[in-house]
Amino acid sequence: MRKIMEGSHAVAEAVRLIRPGVISAYPITPQTHIVERLAEMVADGDLDADYITVESEFSALSACLGASAAGSRVYSATTSQGLAFMFEVLFNVAGMRQPVVMSIVNRALGAPLSIWNDHQDSVSCRDSGWFQLYAEDAQESMDLHFLAYRVAEDHDVLLPGFVCFDGFILSHTYEPVDMPTQEEIDAYLPPFVPVNVLDAKNPISMGMYATPDYYTEFRYDIDRAMDRAKDLLVTAGRELGESIGRDYSGLVEEYRLEDADTAFVAMGSLCGTVKDAIDEMRDSGIKAGLLKIRSYRPFPRAEIAKALSGVSRVAVLEKNVSLGSAMKGAVGPEVKDALWGSGIDVFSYVLGLGGRDVRKKDIAAINALSIAGKGDMFYGLREELI
Amino acid sequence: MSFKDWFREDRLPHIFCTGCGNGTVINCTLEAVEEMGWIRDTTVFISGIGCSSRAPGYITTDSLHTTHGRALAFATGVKLANPRLNVVVFTGDGDLAAIGGNHFIHACRRNIDITVVCMNNMIYGMTGGQGSPCTPPGAISTTTPYGMCEPVFDLSALAVTAGANYVARWTSYHVTELTKAIKVGLDTPGFSFIEAMVQCPTAYGRRNKLRQVSDMVTYLKTHALLLQKKQRMEEEGETVPADMFAVGEFVRRDRPAMGVLK
Ligand SMILES: Cc1ncc(C[n+]2csc(CCOP(=O)(O)OP(=O)(O)O)c2C)c(N)n1
Ligand code: SF4
C-alpha cells in the first residue's frame, strides 16, 4: 500500500510490523516523532509491546539490553547527544551479542549545541561492534529496519545494528512510501529465537570478567560475526527484494558510474542531491557518477574497489570530521585503502556539518576541486568567520 | 543597578512561547540576585538543556550551557575551582529529575554551596511534551496518550531527604514569595533548592484541558497548599486532595557544606 508519510512515521510503521516485545527510548529532537507514534500504537493496542518511558538514553539502551537478554525482540531510537550518552552501553550490547536494533536519526554533536543534521554521531560509534546501515530516503529508512532485524538476529551474526537516516531531512519530511503487509514481514522476519537467554532453570552469566587470556578472542569473535553479517546483508537484502519488491542486496549502490571520470562517494540523503547534480553535470558533458555506501559497518572494501576500479578520481563527501586526521573525513581513508595501488586519487571533503545545506552547485564545485587535485579539506568554509 | 541590567537585550526575542512561566522565574531570580547586591563579575549561571535551561543565555554574566542533565556536575566543578563565585543553576524537571537525577541527590548530599532554581512544568517542554518524572498521574503527554500511570517525584522532598540546607517550593503565581525564597536560598551557605512550579501552555496545558495561559496559572494557584495549612489538615485528620501540592519553606538548616568560602 502506497501512502504519503512523514519519514519518522514510516519508521514507526516499520517497527510496528517488526513486532518488538519491548521498546525503550528517551525523547530527543529529531527522534521524537518516531517514539511518540510508537507510544500511541502501544497505548491503542495496535502494537503488543511494553513501552518503557525511561529517564535517560543510558537507561533506554540498558533496558533494551536487559529485555534482549531475557529473550525479547527490542527497539530503541536516538540521536546525537543521546547516542553519545549511550556509548558505554553500546559496547556492552555488542559484547554480550544482543541483536538490538536502533534507529539513529542523524544529528550533529555539541558543543556548540546543534539540533541539525550531520553524521558525526553514528560515525563516532564506528568501532562499537554495531553494524551501521545508512538510508537515502523515507522508503529506504523503513525497509532497512526489516533487513537490520533479520541480519542482527541470525544465529550466525547476533550483533546489534544501527539504521541511520538524516534528521529533519528524512525524519520530518513527507514522501510516498510503500508499506509492506504484516504477512510479508512475518514471513520475512520470523519471531526472535535467542541463543543465550536468561532462564532460571538453566542459569548463565553474561558480561562477566575476561582475563587477558580470553579478552582478545571475544573481540575477534565480534569481528568474525561482522564478516558473516556482510555476507548475510547480501542474501537477506536479496530476499527482502523478493518479498517486498525492493532489492537491498548491495552493500553499495552505483549511479551512472559506468564511464565516470569522477566518482563521488556518499552516505544517506545526500545521495539524492548528488544524483541530481550528476545528471546536470552529465548534461553538460562532465562524466561523473556516485557510489552510495549503504553499509558503513561492515565496511564493503572489495565492493568499493570493484565499483571504483575504472574511475580517474574519487571525491568522498563526508558529513563528519575526524578532527586531527590527515584526510579530515573518517570514510575517506577506508575508501583510499580499498583502492590502494590502483593509482586512483581519493580525496575527502567535509561538508554539511551541523545542518549546513549541500546544494547541487557544491557538488559541481567539488568535482572541479578534485580535478585540480585539491582535497582532504573542509569544503565551503565561511572565510569571514575564521 | 536594577534587575533589568542583568538582561542581555541583544539576545531578544527569546525562545519562550507566549505565556510560558519561565520568564517569571528568571525575573524573580534576577530580582533576588540584585537584592543580594551580587555583581556580574562574580556571579555565574549554569544550566543543562531544556526550555528552562535556556535562561543563562539571556543574562549578562558568564554562563555555561552544558549537556542535558549535567548542570550540577559542571556547577560543582566551577564552585570548587573558585569558591568566590556565586553559582546559580537553572534547570527543569526533566533535566534535574530524569536524566540528571543522580547528580541532584549527590549535590544535595555533599551540600555544595550553590543555588538551584528548578522550573517544574511537569513535562519535557523543549522536545514537545513527553512525560517526565513530574508528570502527574492521569496527565496526557505525547508518550502517555491516555494518561500518566507512573507516580511522580516530589523534588523538594527529595532535596530535603538527600541533605540540602535550604529547600522551598512556590509557583509562578507567587512572585513575591518565590523571589524571597530564592533570596534566602542565595544567602544560605550550602545547597539551596528552590522549586518553581510553572505553566507550560504549549506542551502541557494544551493537552490537559488548560488551554489558556490563565487556566494553567489558576491551576497552579488553586492546587498550591500552604505547608502550614497542609500540616494542620493532616494533624486534624483531614484528607489532603491527591492533586494538591505543598508550597512554602521545607527546610532551612546548617549541615556541613562544601565549597563555602571561610
Ligand atoms: C542526552 C540528551 N538526551 C535528550 C535530549 C533532548 N532533550 C532536550 S531538552 C529535554 C527535556 C527538557 O525537559 P525539562 O528539563 O523539564 O525542561 P523544559 O524544556 O520543560 O523547560 C530533552 C529530553 C538532550 N538534549 N540530550
Ligand atoms: S514549550 Fe513550554 S516550557 Fe518551552 S517555552 Fe513553550 S511554554 Fe515554555
* A320 and A295 fall within a common domain: yes
Q: Which of A244, A263, A281 is the last residue of a domain?
A: A244
In the predicted model, what is the mean pLDDT of chain B? Answer: 96
**In this structure, which residue's CA is closest to atom 6 in ligand 2?**
B17
In the predicted model, what is the mean pLDDT of chain A? Answer: 98
Identify which of A27, A43, A53 has the shortest CB distance to residue B127: A27
Residue B43: pLDDT band (50, 70, 90) is very high
- Among A53, A87, A107, A114, the strongest candidate for a mutation testing the B interface, having the largest count of B CBs within 10 A, is A53
A39 and B145 in contact by Cβ < 8 A? Answer: yes
* A174 and A274 fall within a common domain: no
Residue numbers of the domain that contains A202: 2-244
Mean pLDDT of the A192-207 span? 93
* Predicted confidence (pLDDT) at residue B112 exceeds the cutoff of 80: yes
pLDDT tens string A36-72 = 999 999 999 999 999 999 999 999 999 999 999 999 9
Question: Which atom of ligand 1 approaches the CA of B96 most closely?
Answer: 15
DSSP designation for A109: P
* Predicted confidence (pLDDT) at residue B241 exceeds the cutoff of 70: yes
Cβ B95 vs Cβ B48: under 8 Å: yes
B90 vs A348: CA distance, rounded Å:
42
Q: What is the pLDDT of residue B1?
A: 61
Identify which of B98, B145, B150 has the shortest CB distance to residue A40: B145
* Predicted confidence (pLDDT) at residue A163 exceeds the cutoff of 80: yes
B90 vs B225: CA distance, rounded Å:
24
Comparing CA positions, the residue from A6, A369, A353, A378 lying closest to residue A174 is A6
- Decide if A258 touches B, using CB distance below 8 A: no
A154 vs A157: CA distance, rounded Å:
5
* A259 and A234 fall within a common domain: no
Comparing CA positions, the residue from A251, A266, A259 lying closest to residue A363 is A266
Q: Which of A226, A244, A262 is the last residue of a domain?
A: A244
- Decide if A50 touches B, using CB distance below 8 A: no
Q: Which of A191, A216, A244 is the last residue of a domain?
A: A244
DSSP B113-172: S-EEEEEE-SSBTTTT-B--TTPPTT--BTTBTT---SPPP-HHHHHHHHT-SEEEEEET
Cβ A171 vs Cβ A193: under 8 Å: no
Nearest-Cα distance to chain B for A370, in Å, is 38
Residues of A whose CB is below 8 A from B145: 39-40, 43-44
* Predicted confidence (pLDDT) at residue B262 exceeds the cutoff of 80: no
Number of domains in chain A: 2
Mean pLDDT of the A25-34 span? 98
Ligand closest to the CA atom of residue B24: 2
pLDDT tens string A245-282 = 999 999 999 999 999 999 999 999 999 999 999 999 99
* Predicted confidence (pLDDT) at residue B5 exceeds the cutoff of 90: no
Cβ A47 vs Cβ A16: under 8 Å: yes
Structural domains of chain B, ranges and CATH numbers in brackets: 3-252 (3.40.50.970)
B150 and A53 in contact by Cβ < 8 A? Answer: yes
A81 and B128 in contact by Cβ < 8 A? Answer: no
Phi, psi of B167 (to 5 degrees): -140, 130
Residues 6+ apart with CB under 8 A from A384: none
**In this structure, which residue's CA is closest to atom 8 in ligand 2?**
B20
* A197 and A317 fall within a common domain: no
Q: What residue ranges in A300-364 does DSSP mark as E strands?
A: 313-318, 345-350
Q: What is the pLDDT of residue B261?
A: 82
pLDDT tens string A283-305 = 999 999 999 999 999 999 999 99
DSSP designation for A253: E
The packing angle between helices A215-244 and A138-153, to 10°, is 130
The alpha helices in chain A, defined as continuous H runs, are 7-18, 32-43, 57-69, 80-85, 87-95, 120-123, 138-153, 182-188, 215-244, 270-283, 301-307, 332-338, 360-371
A39 and B128 in contact by Cβ < 8 A? Answer: no
* A100 and A211 fall within a common domain: yes
Mean pLDDT of the B138-160 span? 97
Cα B126 to ligand 2 centre (Å):
6
Residue B248: pLDDT band (50, 70, 90) is very high
* A266 and A302 fall within a common domain: yes
Q: Could you tell me the pTM of the whole model?
A: 0.96
Residue B4: pLDDT band (50, 70, 90) is confident
Mean pLDDT of the A155-178 span? 98
ipTM of the complex, rounded to two decimals: 0.94
Residue A373 φ/ψ region, left for φ over 0, alpha for ψ in the -120 to 50 degree band, beta for the rest: left
Identify which of A36, A44, A55 has the shortest CB distance to residue B143: A36
* A264 and A346 fall within a common domain: yes
Q: What is the dihedral of CA B42, B106, B250, B88, to 10 degrees?
A: 20
Half-sphere exposure of A104 (CA within 13 A, CB side): 37
* A205 and A309 fall within a common domain: no
* Predicted confidence (pLDDT) at residue B240 exceeds the cutoff of 80: yes
Comparing CA positions, the residue from A206, A234, A240, A227 lying closest to residue A66 is A206
* A264 and A174 fall within a common domain: no
A56 and B142 in contact by Cβ < 8 A? Answer: no
Q: Which of the listed residues A81, A86, A113, A115 should we mutate to test ligand 1's pocket, taking the one with most ligand atoms within 8 A of CB?
A: A81
CATH classification at residue A35: 3.40.50.970
Mean pLDDT of the B56-72 span? 96
Mean pLDDT of the B224-253 span? 97
Cα B50 to ligand 2 centre (Å):
9
* Predicted confidence (pLDDT) at residue A82 exceeds the cutoff of 90: yes
B202 lines ligand 2 (CB under 6 A): yes
* A332 and A272 fall within a common domain: yes
pLDDT tens string B87-97 = 999 999 999 99
* Predicted confidence (pLDDT) at residue A365 exceeds the cutoff of 80: yes
Cα A110 to ligand 1 centre (Å):
14
A17 vs A143: CA distance, rounded Å:
11
* A174 and A73 fall within a common domain: yes
Ligand closest to the CA atom of residue B202: 2
Residues of A whose CB is below 8 A from B126: 29
CATH classification at residue A262: 3.40.50.920
**B115 beta partners:** B88, B192
* A148 and A284 fall within a common domain: no
